[in-house]
């Protein structure tokens, strides 16, 4: 199994946080459990050279990506059905970058998975085809880089202080008042501009970040107790952590951690 995050070239660091490649093939035809895809603090463009099915259980919605999906800030879990061979590349945007590229409020994309060709034209199909025929992962990154370099040519919107604050919030070291003050905005202005750029309020964003840290910490250190994970990730106590797990997954932490996954079948866990 290959699951890696790769940094962009310097020319794209203002727009691309990383490229994420997921590439695996199961050795037999045994049933494969769906992937419970939890909320994470990111907006991305994801290409699907091989088939998958994405299900939102609460919406009764099933999505079969044709080439690529533009994925707004998620706040709910979805389930992804994969098959014997799965290959995907995600372009994970820097905070605020997708707003700068598209020019409208990202609140319109929150919890949405939309055909990327609606925004970027038929070139999405060509890129997806190139990714399918790429000889290796390095060539896949080169294809994504060429696409992004072409995309940003027409972008004139600059990075603002609030974008930098949203980036720093990914590894939160301060309370919300500090980020507001360092964006040189009032609380009302900060909230309004943050929702336009990130799709959700700053408080909700920090909540997703904290949950995502706890989820990945448990995967990385399965021997850690839930209480210690809660404290390490800034929760008041286990009950506080458990409440967020219920909100984001519909399960208690222990029940959700016990759910099977494609990665676990291949002897690993998702820690990125």
Q: What is the pLDDT of residue 184?
A: 96
Q: What is the pLDDT of residue 265?
A: 82
Radius of gyration of the chain (CA): 19
CATH number at residue 124: 2.60.120
For 98-148, the pLDDT digits (tens) are: 999 999 999 999 999 999 999 999 999 999 999 999 999 999 999 999 999
> How many domains is the chain partitioned into structurally?
3
Residues 261 and 216 placed together within one structural domain of the fold: yes
Domain span holding position 110? 2-154
Q: Is the pLDDT of residue 2 over 90?
A: no
User: What interhelical angle do 137-151 and 123-133 show, nearest 10?
Assistant: 160
Evaluate whether residue 270 is within a structural domain.
Answer: no
Residues 193 and 215 placed together within one structural domain of the fold: no
Residues 231 and 181 placed together within one structural domain of the fold: no
Residues 16 and 120 placed together within one structural domain of the fold: yes
Residues 101 and 13 placed together within one structural domain of the fold: yes
For 212-257, the pLDDT digits (tens) are: 999 999 999 999 999 999 999 999 999 999 999 999 999 999 999 9
Q: What is the pLDDT of residue 271?
A: 67
CATH number at residue 261: 1.10.10.60
Q: What is the pLDDT of residue 272?
A: 63
Residues 227 and 103 placed together within one structural domain of the fold: no
Evaluate whether residue 207 is within a structural domain.
Answer: yes
């Amino acid at each position: 199994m290959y699951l890696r995050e790769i940094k962009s070239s310097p020319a794209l660091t203002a727009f691309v946080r990383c490229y994420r490649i997921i590439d695996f093939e199961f050795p037999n035809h045994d049933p494969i459990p769906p992937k419970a895809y939890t909320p994470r603090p990111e907006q991305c463009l994801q290409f699907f050279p091989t088939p998958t099915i994405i299900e939102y259980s609460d919406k009764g919605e099933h999505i079969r990506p044709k080439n690529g999906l533009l994925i707004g800030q998620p706040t709910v879990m979805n389930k992804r059905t994969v098959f014997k061979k799965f290959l995907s590349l995600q372009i994970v945007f820097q905070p605020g970058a997708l707003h700068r590229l598209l020019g409208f409020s990202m609140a319109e994309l929150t919890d949405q998975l939309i055909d990327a060709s609606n925004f970027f034209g038929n070139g999405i199909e060509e890129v997806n085809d190139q990714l399918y025929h790429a000889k290796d992962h390095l060539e896949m990154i080169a294809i994504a880089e060429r696409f992004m370099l072409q995309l940003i040519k027409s972008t004139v919107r600059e990075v603002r202080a609030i974008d930098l604050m949203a980036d720093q919030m990914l590894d939160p070291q301060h309370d919300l008042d500090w980020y507001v003050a360092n964006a040189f905005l009032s609380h009302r202005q900060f909230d309004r501009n943050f929702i336009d750029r990130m799709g959700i309020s700053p408080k909700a964003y920090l909540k997703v970040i904290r949950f995502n840290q706890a989820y990945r910490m448990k995967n990385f250190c399965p021997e850690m107790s839930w209480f210690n994970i809660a404290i390490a990730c800034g929760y008041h106590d286990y009950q506080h952590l458990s409440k967020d797990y219920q909100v984001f997954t519909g399960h208690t932490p222990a029940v959700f951690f016990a759910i099977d996954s494609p990665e676990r079948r291949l002897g690993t866990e998702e820690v990125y």
